[in-house]
Amino acid sequence: MNHSELAKQLLPAIGGEANIAGLTHCATRLRFTLKDESLADEATVKAIKGVLGVARSGGQFQVIIGPEVPKAYVRR
């Protein structure tokens, strides 16, 4: 999985960088807190190569990418 390419495709699919209020991760998921969850296009996110699924839980938009998630997580 090319993590840079994943990020380039993921950002617009969740409403852009300006829509991200917070970001963290667990062992298998990127966990986004979005300012406006309606801007996240679940179908587009699921279609991105390397994305295994999507979940919405606890006010978070979670992108499941498996155990490689720490490599994909880059904090600015």
Among residues 18, 26, 47, 52, the one annotated as catalytic is: 26
d(CA 16, CA 9): 10
44 is catalytic: no
Angle at 34 between CA 30 and CA 52, to 5 degrees: 30
Angle at 62 between CA 25 and CA 5, to 5 degrees: 75
Residues carrying an active site annotation: 26
